[in-house]
Amino acid sequence: MDLKIKCDEILGMESRYRIHFINSLSGFKSANLVGTVDKQGRENLSIISSCFHLGADPALMGFIVRPHSAPRHTLENILETESFSINHVNRDIIKNAHQTSARYDKEESEFLHCKLTPTYEENFQAPFVKESKVKMGLKKEEVIKLKNNTELVIGKIELVILPEYCLKEDGFIDIEKSETICVSGLDSYHGTQKVCRLSYAKKDKALEEFKN
Amino acid sequence: MDLKIKCDEILGMESRYRIHFINSLSGFKSANLVGTVDKQGRENLSIISSCFHLGADPALMGFIVRPHSAPRHTLENILETESFSINHVNRDIIKNAHQTSARYDKEESEFLHCKLTPTYEENFQAPFVKESKVKMGLKKEEVIKLKNNTELVIGKIELVILPEYCLKEDGFIDIEKSETICVSGLDSYHGTQKVCRLSYAKKDKALEEFKN
């Protein structure tokens, strides 16, 4: 049977219950670790599930920072250095990645406390996560404050690092091969299994299905 | 072996190749159908992979519309009526959902052409997708133009419809039970398999793992 839950019932939910409920609604989400460093060299790492594609020319990526959430230090560092990395969470580092959402002080590196390894690339300031297989280096493009005090961070992709075996001949990256996982709600982690790739949709033309 | 691909190499990619490449980078994405109607009653339906959670109090959701993309009619209708629905794509309707990305005229309903059924709820203007199991009705809150001419649509959740068996006692919605799928790149569809749920992360406290 279907439940129909109205606006006032959502407002009446107990706060933690509502957070689980609303966070589950958008569907499966990407799981990424954002790596930053401040001017004093203090590293920060934070899991985000709101990373999205914003454009391919120029190559832009965005993510959301909510008020008082763990990624606040991340945002401060991005404003300070304009540099950040986005690193896919894979099956082997789910717990490490989830642990970065705990409230650590700015002096404490999540890399250290969550047992992940910072690595650096030439001419790029922010640290990457060694254990992550698909990773990007970005430069801050814009930070936009939205109505409910969340902030939208937009970055331009400067560098992409990925295993050669993930890159297909049409430019598609097979992120199942990198064991990239996805998340639902606040805390549920999922592996994936490809159903199919579909051809470019055109009016009055049947879709073709590609199994690999 | 790892590939390291720099900004100028990305810019040098053939356009279609670059679109596949950049669209794969954010990780797995939600797959949703946005349902709208204009003042003349012409229905529109469009697949989006950029839907994200923006806040639980009030309950807000956002998604991105890129310039000249299929969801332009969606945006026009939202500006006209302030009403839209978000409907999870599930395993049974992957092809129907993908086909909505073809360029139909405003007079042509994607519901009809893609063989999906519009349904309406009392006191809510936009159509829902009958075949979708988890669906939301939203009211336009804000539309923000971003630098690269993409637009961020923010809506307030007014109504949620979901199968009773998906709702867990802590408010979490088990979207694997609704067979909600996810997408990577432009055209790759994936089922999921839960690895675990993890406890709320705290400093100096080991995470607990919940198998269901």
Alpha-carbon distance values, A100 to A92, A110, A149, B41 (Å): 15, 6, 22, 48
Domains of chain B by residue range: 28-183+192-210
* CATH top-level class of B28-183+192-210: mainly beta
Distance between CA atoms of A114 and B201, rounded to whole angstroms?
11
Polymer length in residues for chain B = 212
Phi then psi for residue A211, to 5 deg, are: -80, -20
Distance between CA atoms of B142 and B12, rounded to whole angstroms?
36
Cis before B127? omega within 30 = no
Chain segment B30-78, per-residue pLDDT in tens: 999 999 999 999 999 999 999 999 988 899 999 999 876 767 899 999 9
Nearest to B160 among A11, A25, A197 (CB): A25
B164 confidence band (pLDDT: 50, 70, 90): very high
Phi then psi for residue A22, to 5 deg, are: -65, -35
Question: The pTM is what?
Answer: 0.96
- What is residue B212's predicted lDDT score, i.e. its pLDDT? 64
Residues on chain A touching B211 (C-beta within 8 angstroms): none
3-state secondary structure chain A: CEEEEEHHHHHCCCHHHHHHHHHHCCCCEECEEEEEECCCCCEEEEEECCCEEEEECCEEEEEEECCCCCCHHHHHHHHHHCEEEEEECEHHHHHHHHHCCCCCCCCCCHHHHCCCCEECCCCCCCCEECCCCCEEEEEEEEEEECCCCCEEEEEEEEEEEEEHHHECCCCCECCCCCCECEEECCCEEEEEEEEEEECCCCCCCCCCEECC
Q: Is the pLDDT of residue A212 over 90?
A: no
Residues on chain B touching A203 (C-beta within 8 angstroms): 102-104, 113
* CATH top-level class of A7-210: mainly beta
Output the six-digit token pair for A46.
């934070």
- What ipTM was assigned to the predicted interfaces of this complex? 0.96
Output the six-digit token pair for A12.
């009446």
Chain segment B69-115, per-residue pLDDT in tens: 767 899 999 999 999 999 999 999 999 999 999 999 988 999 999 99
- What is residue B17's predicted lDDT score, i.e. its pLDDT? 97
Strand pairing of B182-184 and B118-119? unpaired
Chain segment A58-105, per-residue pLDDT in tens: 999 999 998 767 678 999 999 999 999 999 999 999 999 999 999 999
- What is residue A210's predicted lDDT score, i.e. its pLDDT? 86
What percent of chain A stands above pLDDT 70? Answer: 98
Nearest to B98 among A102, A154, A198 (CB): A198
Q: Is the pLDDT of residue B211 over 80?
A: no
Cβ–Cβ of B10/A157 closer than 8 Å? yes
Judge contact between A98 and A49, C-beta under 8 A. no
Chain segment A134-167, per-residue pLDDT in tens: 999 999 999 999 988 899 999 999 999 999 999 9
Q: Is the pLDDT of residue A211 over 80?
A: no
Residues on chain A touching B205 (C-beta within 8 angstroms): 102
